[in-house]
Structure 1
Amino acid sequence: MTQQRPEAVPPADVAIAYVRALGDRMVADGCRATTATWHNHPVLLGSRSDRKARWFGTKSELFVLAAAVPAVDEAALVDFTKWAMAYASSLRSGIGGARNAAMVLPALVSTQVAASAREWATKDARVLGTSVIGRPITVEAGSGVTRVTMYRGGSVYGGMFTRHVLEKAALYFS
């Protein structure tokens, strides 16, 4: 029989703790935090709206959806990203289009992340319609080490918001 050391934290607890800390960081930055459910997994949903002069008065809504799961593979990340983008689209305020963009950061958190999921997350931003832009994220949370993977480049749609979204992602997913 193999025994765990008493101080060892079960893998699921590491991922759940990461999502809780993520929620705390988002609330500290002024996000509204609520919850949702995806395939029987609780999902943390943080959202905020920003309008800046350099965006020519355009409003950017940022939605962060994060779930702790036992393992992340490419199929799960694709499914979660599609669900998160559609869910965020249904929550948007205002009329979608050139003056109102939704940026979505769908994140799956686990102690086991497949290389194919990390690769898929880094390929490019995903677009739903013309005004919902998603940047899928994988978070491999381990004891003392966290690996965050996402696309950090620009995109044709929503390109003027890239710096803002990457700054928020760096703040939240630390």
Structure 2
Amino acid sequence: MTSQLGPAAGYLAGLRDRLAADGCEVTSMRWHGHEVVVGMRTDRKARWLGSRAQLFVHAAAVPSVDDVALAEFTGWAMTAARSRIRGRLLNRSAGLVLPALISEDVRPSAVTWATADIRTLGFTMTGRPVTVTVTADGPRTDMFRDWVKWAGSFTGHVLKKAALYFP
């Protein structure tokens, strides 16, 4: 399947390199027969008053992306991330997930869904779904970039990392 995805698969390989270069632990999983690149890192900053952010990136190259597929992938990625940190999240921690689907065929409904808001899973995980449309002119990344109250102190951090990983 990867060979049929051409530029999207190439973008995914580049993402794997960017995650590793930033110090993420990089592994892979499978979702509906597609390779999912998984990056994870934990950060602490003094301005977060002792809190820590556990950031997860789950990304897959797929033939096409619509809002239904992106919603399903986002739920799957957030659940997978939470299962990796269950029992390790304390009151002063946040789980942040960037679930990304990469394709040459990203439907407007997926972009609208990704840019509408963050997604939450319980009180411990927030997700910012990402679509990457790969074209001859270069990639176009869409996601919700506004400030939020829930895990809002980590907004700048997650947006900075998203810009680094999804140029």
- TM band (smaller chain): over 0.9
Greater Rg, structure 1 or structure 2? 1
> Runs of 4 or more off by more than 2 Å in structure 1?
93-98
Q: Kindly indicate whether the alpha-carbon contact (under 8 Å) linking 1:70 and 1:110 is maintained by their aligned counterparts in 2.
A: yes
Deviation at 1:98, TM superposition (A): 2.7
Letter in 1 for 2:70: L
Q: Partners of 1:107 and 1:141 in 2: how far apart?
A: 13
- Structure 2 counterparts to residues 144-155 of structure 1, below 5 A: 144-155=137-148
Partner of 2:28: 35
Deviation at 1:156, TM superposition (A): 1.9
Partner of 1:4: none
Q: Partners of 1:93 and 1:131 in 2: how far apart?
A: 10
From 19, 27, 34, give the equivalent of 1:26: 19
Q: Kindly indicate whether the alpha-carbon contact (under 8 Å) linking 1:42 and 1:67 is maintained by their aligned counterparts in 2.
A: yes
RMSD after superposition = 1.3
From 45, 62, 74, give the equivalent of 1:52: 45
Q: Partners of 1:163 and 1:93 in 2: how far apart?
A: 25
- Number of corresponding residues: 165
Q: Partners of 2:86 and 2:67 in 1: how far apart?
A: 30
TM norm structure 1: 0.91
Identity of aligned residues (%): 49
Deviation at 1:144, TM superposition (A): 3.4
Query: Structure 1: any 5+ residue segments left out of the alignment?
Result: 1-9
Letter in 2 for 1:149: D
TM norm structure 2: 0.95
Q: Partners of 2:108 and 2:157 in 1: how far apart?
A: 27
Query: Structure 2: any 5+ residue segments left out of the alignment?
Result: none
Question: Per-residue CA shift, 1:83-126, capped at 9, x if unaligned?
Answer: 00000000116533531211000000000000010000001110
